[in-house]
A and B are shown apart, each in its own frame.
Chain A
Amino acid sequence: MIRHAISNLNGWLAILAIVLSSSAGDVLLSRAMKQIGDLGELRRKRGLGFVISRILRNRYFLMGVVCMAISFYSLLFGLSWNDVSLIGPAAASLTFVANAFAAKIFLHERVDHRRWAAALFVAAGVVLMAL
């Protein structure tokens, strides 16, 4: 009984950590990639080595990777306590919604009705698929 409660608590703590770190990482990586430009086009013009060096020198990319690493280890921690059928969909669906807010606030993306609907439909669909 107590073990089950601890398992659930640790699972939801992991989900919270995944959502926060993953959303921060997504926003930072998106900002980095917008600064760098279309990777396919850059690779054709300047070569793969140039693209890699440009990515690795971008500070938003480096901060994004740190956030993604925190998200990854939070996922491993969560999976060691609870099923992937809870951790995966719960974290993914909440991240969809959190990212829509974060993209609007920090990246100034025009999140119109279509994109809000897409984020909510996908989030709800992911939850239903896990039931």
Chain B
Amino acid sequence: MNLRKYLVLAGVSVFAPLGDSFLSYGMKQVGNISLRNIPDLLLAIANPWVGLGIIFLLGFFASYMTALSWADLTYVLPASSLGYVLLALIARFALHEQISLTRWFGIALVSTGVGFVTSGPELTGRPPQHLANDGSVATEHS
């Protein structure tokens, strides 16, 4: 793991919860959508908060795909869940919200899980394939 890879994981961690929060705020403005009016979901993206949420989620998607190109799915998902902890810490120290003991316990569990997975190798299965000089795909053998 190098700095670039840690930055990519940080991008996954930060963009996803921010994107979800903006989407939630926007969908509260849009209101309930019943199963009979499913096409209304397509119009929901016209809401600026939903639009902003989508931009953040695109950032998440780009970081996520980059991480998956060099690490296992079961490494990337837990390792990038520090975003939940980050949001809780922002809520506590920047927004001065009260955080219950249960929530602190949740933060500790997520952090422990992240610690478990990041202390191991990022790739366990077959190594990723790389392009040979002629542009063809070749599997890397270690």
A contact set with B: CB distance below 8 Å: 10, 26-27, 29-30, 33-42, 45-46, 55, 68, 72-73, 75-77, 79-81, 83-84, 88, 92, 95-96, 99-100, 102-104, 107-112, 114-115, 117-122, 124-131
A77 touches B69 (CB 8 A): no
**Which residues of chain A come closer than 8 Å to B106, judged between CB atoms?**
124-131
**Which residues of chain B come closer than 8 Å to A122, judged between CB atoms?**
77-78, 81, 109-110, 113-114
A-B residue pairs, 3 tightest by C-beta:
A128-B106, A125-B109, A121-B113
Chain B residues bordering chain A, tally (CB within 8 A): 58
Known: A76-B27, A84-B20. A121 touches B112 (CB 8 A): yes
- B37-83 contacts to A, CB under 8 A, are 38, 41, 44, 50, 57, 61, 64-66, 68-70, 72-75, 77-78, 81
B contact set with A: CB distance below 8 Å: 4, 20-21, 23-24, 27-28, 30-33, 35, 38, 41, 44, 50, 57, 61, 64-66, 68-70, 72-75, 77-78, 81, 84, 88, 100, 102-103, 105-114, 116-117, 119-120, 124-126, 128-131, 137
**Which residues of chain B come closer than 8 Å to A72, judged between CB atoms?**
57
Chain A nearest CB, measured from B13 CB (Å): 12
